[in-house]
Amino acid sequence: MGDLNETKKKRGIGNLGSPKMPFDYFNREYGTVSRDTQRAPFQWVSEVAYKNVHRIVSRGYDTTELMEEGYGVVDVLFVDYQSRIPLIEEEQMLNYVMILALEDGLSPPAAMSRIVARTKTFLTQAAAASILAFGHAYGAYSAFGNRLERYLKKADAQKLTLAEAAELLVKESAEEYESLGVSNLMLKDPAAKRMIARAEKQGVAGKYIAFMNEIVRAAQKQSPEAVDIDMLGATGATMMDLGFSAEATWAILAVTRALATGAHYIEEIERHPYMRMGEALTPEEDYDGPADRPVPPLEDRAKVAKPGICRSVDEWAKAREERKKLVGSGHAVVEEIEDPSKKSGIEKVGKL
């Protein structure tokens, strides 16, 4: 094959042969070199679990032995996320939360699963689509939980009572209502209150539920309309009192909901045929845009075309308001200029 470096040197690739280079590029080793024992090689390191031909071990526990002993999925969630076997009351409480979270009827995640199902795809792809529908507005467990943590720390630092911290949280979070945990969604549905009552009865209610109760009282005083604790507030506070972080809560409950969307997928393909590309019609009755109009001849383009450029600030402002009325243009959407991941409430991404 010859000397590859000599060949490249003759070809003169870019500035690799320049005397200004801080090293002789063409005299560097080419191909396999001896292992450098002074530097750690890349490898995955995990304290969550390992697997060999004999066993799968999670946080030190052989998972086969856990099953044989009679522990269930809920127990192993505590093992995986918290490295501990839970109290029976904690196991029962997480079971309660997950059953309530498992099915929510034809909600957005279920609808996503059904839509994907009609395109003749795999069930796992439909379940993945359902998890993608678990966004900041629909399942804001991360934003909710991290806010609770932030204001509890503030209460400690500023020597505030829980009630005072709750008043401050509600006042400063007025525009983030979807992740507040208090709304007008559950004024008639008792599910959220029942979950809190269950946690208190089981003896697993702690500082997060106590703080959530104060947040509800503060919101009811500050809100001009009737509000009460909703499922986000009840579930998020309960999960955190069970020892799960805000991110772990989001992960566990999103996947829990995905389990039910599998049933929706199966029902969809059993009740309806697959939909081929172009098969679905969208009739005029479901259209509310401009009325049908003739396409102008290309030679008349200059007569009907309208420029998008604005020549002054006033002209731009007027055009902007008109464009906001055009649904689907995006002009009425408030642009997020912050990192979208910050919506989760996480202070920083990566290592702590």
Cα within 13 Å of Cα(190), Cβ side: 3
Ranges 47-51, 73-77, 240-244, 343-347: which has the least confidence:
343-347
Task: Tell me the Cα Rg of the chain.
Answer: 29
Model-level pTM greater than 0.85? no
* Dihedral sign, Cα of residue 125, residue 128, residue 132, residue 134: positive
Type of residue numbered 160: L
Reported as a single tens digit per residue, the pLDDT across 254-312 is: 889 889 999 999 999 999 888 877 777 888 888 888 899 898 999 999 888 988 888 89
What pLDDT does 242 receive?
Answer: 97
**Cα(95)–Cα(242) distance, rounded to whole angstroms?**
12
- Following CA atoms 24, 27, 33, 39 in sequence, which dihedral angle do they give, to the nearest 10 degrees? -20
d(CA 329, CA 9): 55
Query: pLDDT tens, 106-139?
Result: 888 889 899 999 888 888 888 888 888 887 767 7
DSSP calls for 311-346: SSHHHHHHHHHHHHTSTTSSTTSPP--S-GGGGGT-
